Amino acid sequence: MTGDLLWLIAIILLLIFASAFFSSAETALTAASDARMRQLASKGNRRAMLVERLRNDREGLIGSILIGNNAVNVIASALATSVFISILDDGGVLWATITMTVILVVFAEVMPKTYALNHSNKYALLIAPAVRLVVVVLSPLSIALRMLANSLIRKRQTDENEREEELRGMIELHGAEGDGDSRETQAMLSSVLDLNEISVEQIMTHRAGVKMIDADSDLDSLLGEVLASPHTRHPVYSGNPDNIIGVLHVKDLLRAIGRRGADEAPQGDGLGLLQNIVSEPYFVPETTLLFDQLQSFRTRREHFAVVVDEYGDLQGIVTLEDILEEIVGDIDDEHDIDLAGLTAQPDGSWIVDGAVTIRDLNRALAWQLPDEDASTIAGLVLYESRAIPRPGQEFRFHNIRFRILKRDGNKVTSLRLWSTRNA
C-alpha cells in the first residue's frame, strides 16, 4: 500500500470524524434544554450564553451544520471511491458505496446522535465554541442558500396558539413522568395558562350566594350579620340590591365603633356609621379574563370586585383569593367551611345545591363537567336537557346521573348526583 493511499485513508477517517461532529452538534444544540441554558446563562456561564446565541438563529445554525456535514460526507465518499477503484478496479465503486454507507450511518450518524441526545446539555456546552467558528466561516454560503430557500418556500410563522400548545404539552409530559409533587406542579402551571381563557363569570360567587349589607340596617342588625358571616368584606346596597354603594370591611367597622366608644354609639343607627367607612365599589364586567383581572387587582391594590353584566346589573363578586385558588387550589383558613351545598350520601351519591358552581364541584370531586355553557350545576342541567325539569326527573350526561330533588318556581334548587364512570 503506497504512501499516497495511506494519506487518502487518513483523510477519509478525518472526514468521517468531522461528519460525526456535525451530526452530534446538530442533535445536541437542538435537544439541549432551553430552561437549563437560561439558568446557566443567568449565572454568567459564557458557554451557555453562546449556546443561546446560536439557538436564537436556528436557521443559520442548522444551515451551517448541514452544509458542513454534507460537504465532508461527499468528499469522504469521493475519496473512498477513488481508493477502492485503485484497489479493486471497476468493482471498487460498488464496494465504496456499501462501505461508506455503513460507516457513515453507524459511525457518523447513529452513534454520535445517540450520544449527543443522551448528554445534550453537557455536550452542547462543550462544542459551542467550535460550532460558533463553523457558523462564522460558513455564514456567507448559509445566508445565500437560506435566501434561495425562502424565495422558493414561503416561510410559515409560528403563532402564539401553537407556542402555548407546545408549552402545555411540555407541562403534561413533566407531570406524567413525575410523582405526586410533579403532578401538583403540572396542575398549577396549567392553571396559570388557563387564566387567559377563563372569565370572572366562571369563578365568581353568584349574587344568590353573596352576603350583602343593607345600608339602612340598624347597628345591632349590622353587627349580627357581620359576625355571622365568615367573610371580611361585604357589598353594601341601598334600597335595591343592584344598587351597590360601597364595600364594607369588617376591620373598618370595628375600628369605627371603637373610636366612637360604646356609650357614644347610637343604638339603632348603622347608616351614619356606614357612610363614613365603606370604600368605593370596584365594578368589573363578567367577561373580564382572569389574567386581566389579576393584573387589575395588583395595579389598584384591590382584593374585591363587584361583577356586573352588560346592563350593569349585579351578577356576583370576585376576589383575589378566588383567582389565586384557580392556580394553587383551595386556600382554606380557620373560618372557611367545606364546599357549601355539597353533601355526601352513604350510597356514594351527592346531594348538591343547584347554585353550586361547576368549577367548584369539579375541584371538590375531581370531575370533568364542562363549564363553557353554564356556570352552575343547575344551569348545566337546564342547558343539557333543554327544559325546566320537574322533581323526580333523571338525566345522564358526561358520565354523571342527575336526579332533580327540588324546584322553586323555574329554579332547580337541589339535585342528587351519581358518578356512572365506573358503574
Distances (CA, A) of 378 to 242, 253, 316: 23, 36, 17
Q: Which amino acid is at 406?
A: K
**For position 132, what pLDDT does the model report?**
92
Q: Tell me, yes or no, whether 260 and 378 share the same domain.
A: no
pLDDT tens-digit map of 265-317: 444 455 566 777 888 999 999 999 999 999 999 999 999 999 998 888 899 99
Q: Tell me, yes or no, whether 321 and 359 share the same domain.
A: no
**For position 75, what pLDDT does the model report?**
92
φ, ψ dihedrals at 155, nearest 5°: -75, 135
Q: Tell me, yes or no, whether 17 and 85 share the same domain.
A: yes
**H helical segments located in 153-278:** 160-176, 180-194, 200-203, 219-228, 250-260, 271-277
Q: Tell me, yes or no, whether 78 and 123 share the same domain.
A: yes
> Domain span at residue 366?
342-419
Task: Tell me, yes or no, whether 336 lies in a domain.
Answer: no
Q: Tell me, yes or no, whether 234 and 309 share the same domain.
A: yes
Q: Tell me, yes or no, whether 104 and 61 share the same domain.
A: yes
Decide: pTM greater than 0.75: no
How many C-beta neighbours within 10 Å does residue 314 have?
Answer: 22
Dihedral, 111, 112, 114, 119 alpha carbons, nearest 10: 140
Q: Tell me, yes or no, whether 39 and 138 share the same domain.
A: yes
Q: Enumerate the β-bridge partners of residue 285.
A: 308
Q: Tell me, yes or no, whether 189 and 272 share the same domain.
A: no
Task: Tell me, yes or no, whether 334 lies in a domain.
Answer: no
Q: What is the CA radius of gyration of the chain?
A: 34
**For position 128, what pLDDT does the model report?**
92
Nearest residue to 253 (alpha-carbon basis) of 238, 228, 233: 233
pLDDT tens-digit map of 74-100: 999 998 888 888 888 777 888 888 898
Total number of domains in the chain: 4
Residue ranges in the chain modelled with pLDDT below 70? 1-3, 154-164, 166, 170, 173-183, 260-273, 329-340, 422-423
As a whole number of angstroms, the distance between CA 201 and CA 235 comes to 17
What CATH number corresponds to the domain at position 205? 3.10.580.10
Q: Tell me, yes or no, whether 225 and 320 share the same domain.
A: yes
Last residue within a domain, chosen from 173, 194, 215 = 194
**For position 196, what pLDDT does the model report?**
85
What CATH number corresponds to the domain at position 406? 3.30.465.10
Q: Tell me, yes or no, whether 83 and 108 share the same domain.
A: yes
Task: Tell me, yes or no, whether 224 lies in a domain.
Answer: yes
Q: Tell me, yes or no, whether 176 and 212 share the same domain.
A: no
Q: Tell me, yes or no, whether 304 and 223 share the same domain.
A: yes
Task: Tell me, yes or no, whether 144 lies in a domain.
Answer: yes
Task: Tell me, yes or no, whether 337 lies in a domain.
Answer: no
As a whole number of angstroms, the distance between CA 403 and CA 395 comes to 7
